[in-house]
Chains A and B, each alone.
Chain A
Amino acid sequence: MESRIITKTQELIKRVRFSKSSKEKKRETKTQEVIRRFKSNKSAVFGLILILVLVFFAIFADVISPNDPTPSPPELEKSLKPGFWSEDGLEGMPLGTDMLGRCILSRILHGARISLSVGFVAVGIAALIGITLGVTAGYYGGWIDSILMRIVDIMFSFPGLLLAIVIVAVIGQGLDKAMIAIGIVYSPQMARIIRGSVLYVRETEYIEAQRAIGSSNWRIVFRHVIPNSMAPIIVYGTLMMATAILDAAALGFLGLGAQPPSPEWGAMLSGSRFYIVSGAWWAATFPGIAIVFAVLGLNLLGDGLRDILDPRLKT
């Protein structure tokens, strides 16, 4: 018992000392704090590096690709040649060629551009719809909330990919339409997250203060409610981008998303999977690895951001 009291006292002394020394330190801003916490999270940093590499590939795809990703007419005499690991490989085609003689490396590099933009645009659409619905439902409450949340419930009763397929069935196939479909499919999830966050922000004292000084609803929503709900939007937006890339690749694979000859990763797999029987394993392997990297990177980054930005986990 005695020893416990001593340790308690020691701990208190330690805390006082610590708080003194931290007060002497220059006060760090919110951004500095987030960056410091981010740096100490190894998997988040690793995820960010993966994503930055892909962003680099996407921006400089034209410069760093060794070949044209979609040569026309196709050079069929070069079809299904292996890459650097084999004697039969072609010069300047490090990852080999697909069934139409196109350089797989160049296509993957250009595919990064497509997949990342799909992720951004789809999540952007989801955020736009989700913020509108979520803020309206959460801020105004009442019957608006009930109706909007019932609609969200109905959309949740479809598996995501199936709903995307349904939307594509109505608006037609293609990469742009796949982005819209995925954006719509993800919006209910976004709406729920934002609604939850708005419900919390709405009850805080500074919002009450805003009401007291007579700020309009619009001003409160745009200047205070939305900016204070940003953390979950960033966290879940990042994680959603991972699944958006997966779903876009899935639609491309099914032939309902990006159409050939687009170097979209999923569409690349869809064409080349039939050639694994003849031993051309590379054409169906590398685009998949690219998808895994992108999704893994975003998942790690999103998980890390959640640990950092979620105030409930803060110590």
Chain B
Amino acid sequence: MRWYIAKRLAMLVPVMLGVSIIAFSLIHLAPGDPARTMLGERATQEQLNEIREKYGLDKPIYVQYGVWLNNILHGDLGRSITTHEDVAKEIGERFPNTMELTIAAMIFAIIVGVFAGIISATKQYSITDYTFMGIALFGISMPVFWLGIMLMMIFGVVLGWLPIGGRIDLLIPFQRVTGFMVVDSIITGNFPALISVLRHLILPAVALGTIPMAMIARVSRSSMLEVLRQDFIRTERAKGLSERIVIYKHAVRSAMVPVVTVIGLNFGLLLAGAILTETVFSWPGIGRLVVNAVYARDYPLVVGCILVFAIAFVIVNLVTDILYTRIDPRIQYE
């Protein structure tokens, strides 16, 4: 097991190198002088010379790549052209918001999806089953940004129950500690802030979580149906165990293996979906940051965001793979 994790980590090296090459070539493929690409149009001659010196832009391309990679590994992602802030700092400020959104969306997707799947399976071909599976089918065909707009319209504009955008009510004083606003408001005991932060979180999380929820519901249903037909379930029923214990204690446990796979696969989709959800709900995360950066042709910022996204994506995939062995002892990695 330890050997497997080590091997997987070693395999990450070529993948991350490839990702860095793509990110590096982005700056060089962009039309124009790379020094100007990194500094923007209004840069002075001295600044240009300085950046050429720093990144060795007069040297061969592989030397440039080496210098650039060395800087990245030391946490220097350059400066944003538009805000002149450190790219690492800009990303660091927004990344926790994206994490909070995706985690909340995933929690919603798992809880609702798994329950809908279990209920559908135990009541196969009932009206409940058809309703849930109909919703799930629509769920996977819906554009996440449109769903976001619809939720915003119904619960924000028409009913007025929830805020239609942003991260927190701006009138509420807030003290930043970790950057994770839910955690921060709990640590500082700031109760009004916690309520506001959670209220702002609900709609984006539901919008983002609906597609994975639908997929999880479909997979849990079919996996449950398969498990319920197996001998050990019949034995348990014959033993006289109550239906609740049979289903929720024994059947669910063996039905969850394929569900974990779907959850892992969907984390990547969630990261991509976050780009859209953040745009709809004016959410201050890196999804919105990268879109605005592409708009402004702020290449250092684009490159920084891409690297963060790719690292997050790769780590999630690794964690899912490792989790399989914990959940299903039949899977063994050499």
Contact = CB atoms under 8 A, between A and B. Distances in A.
A180 to B, nearest CB: 14
B15 interface: yes
A220 interface: no
A284 B149 contact: yes
A292 B142 contact: yes
Give the interface size bracket for B toward A: 35 or more
Contact of B291 (A151, A154, A254, A284): A254
A278 to B, nearest CB: 9
Interface string A138-165: 0000000000001101100111111001
A253 B15 contact: no
A269 interface: yes
B309 A253 contact: no
A251 B287 CA distance: 13
Contacts of B302: 166, 169
A159 B269 contact: yes
B91 interface: no
Nearest to B14: A150
Given A162-B290, A292-B141, A153 B309 contact: no
Contacts of B299: 169
A153 B142 CA distance: 28
Contact of B295 (A154, A255, A291, A299): A255
Nearest to A249: B143
A228 interface: no
Contacts of A256: 291, 294-295
Contacts of A158: 19, 22, 306, 309-310, 313
A291 B143 contact: yes
A126 interface: no
Interface string A12-45: 0000000000000000000000000000000000
Nearest to A284: B149
Contacts, number: 123
A148 B18 CA distance: 13
Interface residues of A, number: 39
Contact of A269 (B18, B29, B145, B291): B145
Interface in A280-294: 281, 284-285, 287-288, 291-292
B314 interface: yes
Contacts of A150: 14, 18
A288 B151 CA distance: 13
B157 interface: yes
A190 interface: no
Contact of A288 (B146, B269, B309, B310): B146
Contact of A154 (B18, B140, B272): B18
A154 B149 contact: no
Given A160-B272, A296-B138, A288 B143 contact: yes
A1 interface: no
Given A157-B15, A166-B306, A281 B153 contact: yes
A162 B141 contact: no
B290 A165 contact: yes
20 contacts: A151-B18, A154-B22, A161-B273, A162-B306, A166-B302, A169-B297, A242-B141, A249-B143, A250-B145, A253-B276, A255-B295, A256-B291, A266-B145, A269-B146, A273-B149, A276-B157, A285-B150, A288-B146, A292-B138, A292-B141
